[in-house]
Chains A and B, each alone.
Chain A
């Protein structure tokens, strides 16, 4: 494989394969009619956009509840995994390997199987059709991503800095709050963003635990894909992607700023 072939042909191909499909989503958001066999859409309009914005309140509520659910998932999974990672790195823990293996179970158990099982439990607990139920279900599936990231991050910082602070007279809480927490912040934000992404894209768990009562982008969008209303489905997809993009970049940006502040003064 010559270098030239790679950079002239393959690299652009990779970029096209990633971006072309996303471009079709953008274009379809504004298509009214696309007669066969024209290669370009025949009639453009912002009807689909209007359909969605006709009821502004519902639309913003949809965005709000999606961000609320996934934001809570992100927050809870960060807290849970910061604590668990700390237990692993700072203390002697029995059955460490077992606990670590079990934390990876969601990778090995399909969400469909889990979802049908947990619904019976949530019905008993009264968590069915509730936002809290959806958050807990999402949390279980976001957890392994956040935990693996936090574990790696905590291990790389290690115990020395806190031990140093302790020897200089800080108490345990001060040592964590003033030393480890700021150093962990970039990893914490990366884990949060990962957990958010995993939760925001969930369809099945939201459907089965939320029972159609808890509405997210995924839940509202699927019927439009099934009925072939591509322009409306495309608009929802577009907002779906924009929100993911903003959250992702916001957290990465803050993470970088924090890192600069810590290591450069």
Chain B
């Protein structure tokens, strides 16, 4: 009898945290339908979602967020994959792999924002270098990479954080596959490139796609980098949501929650896509 309950007692704190997370999400979702008893809002309605989709600035924000998220996640996955391929096929030792993965993963986003400004702004290191080499004759001629409407600064800084994350995420599996089955393919006459493309890559695809989805969802909802490096217009979704959240008129709260609802919806859709992709492909190498 006692043994039956022990595991659930052990799981109690873990389950408690999960419940708190789910309750917070539900609270947000309920508020997005305009139900906040504390502010005397009781009647559920879709009003806030409808109004949001009628506002051009919000539509712009949605597209802006999707754009920087997709570009940075795709680029990070692709570059991470190429670098990881190089590390693996050159049988790179652990110390270098640890340096190029652990350090960027540990450095906080705010610090990354700071050095991105130092390096890429119009009076930054690269602008000075461009002047010295005669490409530009004054600061303003250097392309606006930070606080720009295309979010280039934001994308660059995400790449610095996320390429190493992808390498960290796929390296151990990839080196195992490459060492066993990739080696076998080469014994049978494939060259290095062929064995990588035809054997190692497909067998690692499941982990690669998981890594992509993790950074995609993270980037979509992240606040610091678009706040510190993004333009005033358009704002990234989380930045806009928090701005509505802080609005002195408390009746704006449901708009913030509706924007969060959109973020959850996009995250949910990508998780479902991921789930079906996995089912269709059926496993992969573990």
Tell me the bound Cα distance from A139 to B110 in angstroms.
Answer: 20
B26, B111, B132 pick with most chain A CB within 10 angstroms? B111
Q: How many A-B residue pairs have CB under 8 A?
A: 216
Is B53 interfacial (CB-CB < 8 Å)? no
- Quick check: B223 and A204 within 8 Å, CB to CB? yes
Q: Select from chain B the residue with minimum beta-carbon distance to A201.
A: B108
- For residue B180, CB closer than 8 A to chain A, the reply is no
Q: A21 and B119 in contact (CB under 8 A), knowing A108-B267, A248-B106?
A: yes
Nearest opposing residue in chain A for B111, CB measure: A237
**Interface size of B by Cβ–Cβ distance < 8 Å?**
77
Q: A3-B90, A25-B115 are in contact. Are A37 and B132 (CB under 8 A)?
A: yes
| Chain B residue nearest to A98 in the complex (CB) | B18
Interface string of B212-229 (1 = CB under 8 A from A): 001001101111100110
Question: Is B177 interfacial (CB 8 A cutoff)?
Answer: no
Stretch at the interface among A80-88, A161-169, A178-186: A80-88
Specify which of B13, B129, B238 is in contact with A84 (CB 8 Å cutoff).
Answer: B13
Within 8 A of B (CB), among A67-84: 79-81, 83-84
Residues of B close to A121: CB separation below 8 A: 20, 23-24, 27
Let me know if A234 is at the binding interface, CB within 8 A.
yes
Beta-carbon contacts of B39-77 to A below 8 Å, as 1s and 0s? 000000000000000000000000000000000000000
A119 to chain B, nearest CB (A): 8
Contact B128 A237 (CB under 8 A): no
CA distance A34 to B131 in the complex (A): 15
Known: A83-B13, A84-B11. A36 touches B224 (CB 8 A): no
Nearest A residue to B113 by beta-carbon distance?
A225
Collect the chain A residues with CB atoms within 8 Å of residue B31's CB: 117, 120
- Whether, in the assembled complex, A250 has its beta carbon less than 8 Å from a beta carbon of chain B, the answer is no
| CB 8 Å contact bits of B229-263 with A (1 = contact, 0 = none) | 00000000010011001000000000011001001
Whether the pair B7, A92 counts as a contact (CB closer than 8 A) is: yes
**Complex-state Cα separation, A102 to B23, whole angstroms:** 13
- Cβ of B8 within 8 Å of any chain A Cβ, yes or no, is yes
Tell me, in angstroms, the Cα distance from A174 to B268 when the chains sit together.
Answer: 45
Contact between A120 and B27 (Cβ–Cβ < 8 Å)?
A: yes
Q: Counting CB contacts under 8 A, is A62 at the interface?
A: no
> Contact check: which of A99, A208, A225, A241 meets B228 at CB < 8 Å?
A225
B7 and A91 within 8 A (CB)? yes
Among A79, A91, A102, A108, the residue within 8 A (CB) of B13 is A79
| Given the contacts A24-B119, A110-B263, A218 and B108 also touching, CB distance less than 8 Å | yes
Residue-wise interface mask of A (221-251) relative to B, using a CB-CB cutoff of 8 A (1 in contact, 0 not): 1100110001001100100110011001000
Interface size on A, residues (CB 8 A): 75
Asked if A38 CB lies within 8 Å of chain B CBs, one says yes
Q: How far is the CA of A65 from the CA of B123 in the complex (A)?
A: 35
**Across the interface, do A118 and B260 meet the contact criterion of CB distance under 8 Å?**
no
Q: Verify B7–A112 contact, CB threshold 8 A.
A: no
Using CB atoms, name the residue of chain B closest to A141.
B21
In contact, A147 and B14 (Cβ under 8 angstroms): yes
Alpha-carbon separation in the docked complex, A169 to B247 (Å): 65
- A–B complex contacts, Cβ < 8 Å, 19 sampled: A1-B86, A3-B90, A15-B96, A15-B100, A21-B112, A83-B11, A84-B14, A86-B10, A99-B15, A103-B14, A110-B221, A111-B223, A116-B242, A121-B27, A140-B20, A208-B242, A222-B110, A225-B113, A226-B228
Give me the 9 closest cross-chain CB pairs, A-B, nearest first: A110-B221, A201-B108, A117-B24, A91-B7, A117-B28, A87-B10, A87-B7, A84-B14, A118-B24
Task: List residues of chain B with CB under 8 Å of any chain A CB.
Answer: 3, 6-8, 10-15, 17-18, 20-28, 31, 38, 83, 86, 89-90, 96, 99-100, 103-119, 123, 125, 127-129, 131-132, 139, 160, 214, 217-218, 220-224, 227-228, 238, 241-242, 245, 256-257, 260, 263-264, 267, 271
With contacts A225-B117, A237-B111 known, what are 8 further pairs, Cβ within 8 A? A90-B7, A91-B10, A103-B14, A110-B220, A112-B221, A112-B223, A113-B260, A203-B109
